[in-house]
Amino acid sequence: MSLHFASPTRVGGVRAVLIALVAVAAAVTVALLVAVQPPASAVDGKHAAVYYQTQYDGDRYVSPLELTANGAPVTDVIVGAVHLNSPTEVHLNDDPPDAAKYEQMWADLRSLQDGGVQVLGMVGGAAHGSFQRLDTEFDTYYPLLKDFLSTRGLDGVDLNVEEEMSQQGIQRLITALRADFGPDFLITMGPVASALSGGGNLSGFDYDQLYREVGGEIAWFNAQFYNGWGDASSTADFDAIVERGVIPAERISVTALTNQGNGGSGYVDVEGLRATLSALQAEHPNFAGVTGWEYFNSQPATGSDPWQWLIDVTGAWS
């Protein structure tokens, strides 16, 4: 075997190429870091989230990109509602997720993810049946949910259990999701607030027991402070959860109505909600944040653009 040595000219050329490649790689790295930088509100450990269930206001498509395009400090968009009402296919609201009407929505949600916003899928809600089926026919319906979450590349799932489900059933679901999607996948829940303080509960199972046994898998609770199950006009109901000593403040996001028409009762306007959030910031500086139900018709303090609501309420801790 003979050895060959490159000429000085060739070595210099190779060195120049390597330096150029390193410079390009560095520039790309910086660009990527800027692109995925999380919203400012996430730096304080708080979530600024919205539920996104109404994708069409009449014939008008409501794009979630309005949030980031207008500087709203959104950290999470929770798209819904996912229904398991067929043994062969998932539905998003009234249609299959791959319906043509949703093509633009999925593209916009991917753009949000590229910008650092986490996108979750909300299962259940007011329409009953999905969790009863997961409870009693797990082997039939769980694979459908798993395939949907995987196919759409979602960052997590919000389990909005507003129907009877067994303790064993909800724990099996959470355990399966964690096993299948790994440690970075977000599992959140949307109980009525009173269910976390030992009061009224729409879910059937015990949240204290759930948290003690699998709480490490639950990223946070989007607790509903409206419709008589909680009050967002003061910190009293939030305090009642924390004082119970099971679920800490850092796992509780205040879910509030963004519009009086979005619930039967319990709407708190922006000024009132900001006052409550400011008080929570003083009492529980690590509380999880705020979640709006829902995005499309949010009423800000000034103007009528829905994205402004999130800017207004997060001013309580910014």
Q: Which residue has the higher pLDDT, 74 or 7?
A: 74
Q: Which residue has the higher pLDDT, 14 or 121?
A: 121
pLDDT of amino acid 24: 36
- Contact yes or no for 203/209 (Cβ under 8 A): no
**What's the pTM?**
0.86
pLDDT of amino acid 177: 98
Residue with tokens 């922006």, as numbered in its chain: 270
Q: Whole-number mean pLDDT of the chain?
A: 89
pLDDT of amino acid 44: 62
pLDDT of amino acid 81: 96
pLDDT of amino acid 45: 74
**DSSP at 315:** T
Q: Give the whole-number percent of the chain exceeding pLDDT 90.
A: 84
- What average pLDDT score do residues 296-303 get? 94
* pLDDT tens digits for range 23-69: 433 333 333 333 333 333 343 679 999 999 999 999 999 999 999 99
pLDDT of amino acid 37: 34
Residue with tokens 């809600």, as numbered in its chain: 125
pLDDT of 19 above 70: no
pLDDT of amino acid 29: 34
Element (H, E) at 158: strand 156-160
pLDDT of amino acid 302: 86
User: pLDDT band at residue 318, thresholds of 50, 70 and 90?
Assistant: confident
pLDDT of amino acid 204: 94
pLDDT of 5 above 60: no
* pLDDT tens digits for range 87-141: 999 999 999 999 999 999 999 999 999 999 999 999 999 999 999 999 999 999 9
- In the 3-class helix/strand/coil scheme, how is 183-237 assigned residue by residue? CCCEEEECCEHHHHCCCCCCCCCCHHHHHHHHHHHCCEEEEECCCCCCCCCCCHH
User: pLDDT band at residue 170, thresholds of 50, 70 and 90?
Assistant: very high
- What average pLDDT score do residues 169-175 get? 98
CA end-to-end span of the chain: 68
- Contact yes or no for 79/120 (Cβ under 8 A): yes
